[in-house]
Amino acid sequence: MSVLIYVELDNGSIKKTSLEAVAYGAKVAEKTGGQAVVLALGKADNAELEKAGQYGAAKVLHAADAKLEHENSLAYADALVQAAAQEGSKIIILSKSGLGDAMAARAAAKLKAGIVSGVTALPETDGGFKVTRSIFTGKAFATTEIKSDIKVLVVRKNAVEIDEATLSGGNAAVEAFQPALRDSDFTASVVSVEKADSELSLTEAEIIVSGGRGMKGPEHWQPLIDLAKALGAATGCSKPVSDLDWRPHHEHIGQTGIKVAPNLYIACGISGAIQHLAGVNGSKCIVVINKDPEAPFFKAADYGIVGDVFEILPKLTEAAKSLK
């Protein structure tokens, strides 16, 4: 019995969150006695796909059909179900994202499988298959038993610890895979795609520097961007900032925006409303810079500096530059 893991590609590279899903799937395979098989859809080099082996995959199924080049959750879900049938997979794993959830949902309905999204740790397999997941936007966790024969898991970032030093170094064999594509999955036409190519994606970023109303206006963002650059970080913002159009909507982090779980989250001029905290409470380390010592965000922070962000940010940028 195999474990099937879907990996998302970004310009031909496997996304970091997906490599984590591979490592997670390999551990599940080890526990349940089977092998980890990876599915990749769209253009990618074999050399890139083989990398999944270092994270524990035994082989990679690769469907390079040109029709799968553009992200299409309907066709992707069909391909995922066909791959699961070919491999006899009873456990299917995806990484948490809009695409991951959409594919997982459609595949679960096709397979009449139990689905749990937002999984935060490896499953317990003694006496039933139990997983823990994040609920109430990180304010709590739930342990759930999956009873169905086939199980679909959508895993969050940091659900499994990866030690880059102990990666096996083995490469996975890549096999061509040709799913039967249905016209009914291609009824929508893509009118346009807008993607900020140069920007680091927030859900993938290990470090995020984020600004709130304390940044006083879009024209004052440069010091924050400078620090982000020096740290190799992505930039985010609070809801008021995106509501005021100071920053684009896709940077909005919080309960009704993007939920992030970086290693380091640096909040500049964000007071820390409960809705914002809900979007960042998966972060490993939180730094808060605010001129108000009473800002509620300090209660959720690991490190805090009370002061003027415009004086503090350049100092941090300097120190970060001298780090390298």
Partner 1 sequence: MKILVCITNVPDTTAKISFTDNDTKLNKNGVQFIIGPYDDYALARGVELKEQSGGNLTVLHVGEADAEPQIRKALAIGADDAIRVNADPQDSYFVAAQIAHIASQNSYDLILMGRESIDYNSGVVHGLVGEMLGIPSYSPVMKLDLEGTNATITREIDGGKEVLKAPLPLVLGCQEPIAEWKIPNMRGIMTARTKPLNVVEPVSVDDMTVPQTYQLPAPKGACKMIPASEAETLIKLLQTEAKVL
Q: Which of residues 207-236 bind partner 1 (CB under 8 A)?
A: 207, 231
**Applying CB under 8 A, which part among 53-61, 158-166, 209-217, 303-311 lies near partner 1?**
303-311
* Least spacing, CB of residue 189 vs partner 1, in Å: 5
* Rounded Cα distance, 50 and 47, in Å: 5
* Least spacing, CB of residue 240 vs partner 1, in Å: 13
Can residue 298 be called a binding residue for partner 1 (CB under 8 A)?
A: yes
Site string for partner 1, 231-270 (x = CB under 8 A): x-----------------xx----xx--x---xx------
**Applying CB under 8 A, which part among 41-49, 72-80, 83-91, 216-224 lies near partner 1?**
72-80
Q: What b/e string do you get for 66-105 counting C-beta neighbours within 10 Å, with b at 16 or more? A: eebeebbbbbbbbbbbbbbebbebbbbbbbbbebbbbbbb
CB 141 within 8 A of CB 134: yes
**Applying CB under 8 A, which part among 61-69, 85-93, 94-102, 171-179 lies near partner 1?**
94-102
Q: How many alpha carbons fall within 13 Å on the CB side of residue 182?
A: 11
Type of residue numbered 263: N
In 3D space, the residue among 222, 184, 192, 196 whose CA is nearest the CA of residue 317 turns out to be 222
Can residue 302 be called a binding residue for partner 1 (CB under 8 A)?
A: yes
Can residue 12 be called a binding residue for partner 1 (CB under 8 A)?
A: no
Tokens of 192: 């346009």
User: Which residues from 23-52 bind partner 1, rule CB under 8 A?
Assistant: none
Among 118, 123, 223, 272, binds partner 1 (CB under 8 A): 118
Contacts of 88 (CB under 8 A, 6+ apart): 1, 2
Contacts by 122-125, CB closer than 8 A, 24 or more apart? 122/24, 122/27, 122/28, 122/31, 122/159, 122/160, 123/28, 123/31, 123/153, 125/31, 125/32
Can residue 146 be called a binding residue for partner 1 (CB under 8 A)?
A: yes
Tokens of 190: 């893509």
Among 71, 171, 181, 220, binds partner 1 (CB under 8 A): 71
- Applying CB under 8 A, the site for partner 1 has a residue count of 94
* Least spacing, CB of residue 69 vs partner 1, in Å: 14
Task: Please state the length of the chain.
Answer: 324
Tokens of 209: 């520097």
**Applying CB under 8 A, which part among 32-40, 167-175, 218-226, 302-310 lies near partner 1?**
302-310
**Applying CB under 8 A, which part among 34-42, 53-61, 158-166, 308-316 lies near partner 1?**
308-316
Tokens of 83: 């791959």
Instruction: Check the CA dihedral 302-305-308-311 and report its sign.
Output: negative
Among 202, 208, 237, 280, binds partner 1 (CB under 8 A): 202
Can residue 175 be called a binding residue for partner 1 (CB under 8 A)?
A: no
Can residue 173 be called a binding residue for partner 1 (CB under 8 A)?
A: no
Can residue 319 be called a binding residue for partner 1 (CB under 8 A)?
A: yes
Can residue 199 be called a binding residue for partner 1 (CB under 8 A)?
A: yes
Comparing CB distances to partner 1, the nearer of 2 and 120 is 120
Among 46, 196, 217, 218, binds partner 1 (CB under 8 A): 196
Comparing CB distances to partner 1, the nearer of 54 and 314 is 314
Can residue 69 be called a binding residue for partner 1 (CB under 8 A)?
A: no
CB 212 within 8 A of CB 269: yes
CB 134 within 8 A of CB 117: no
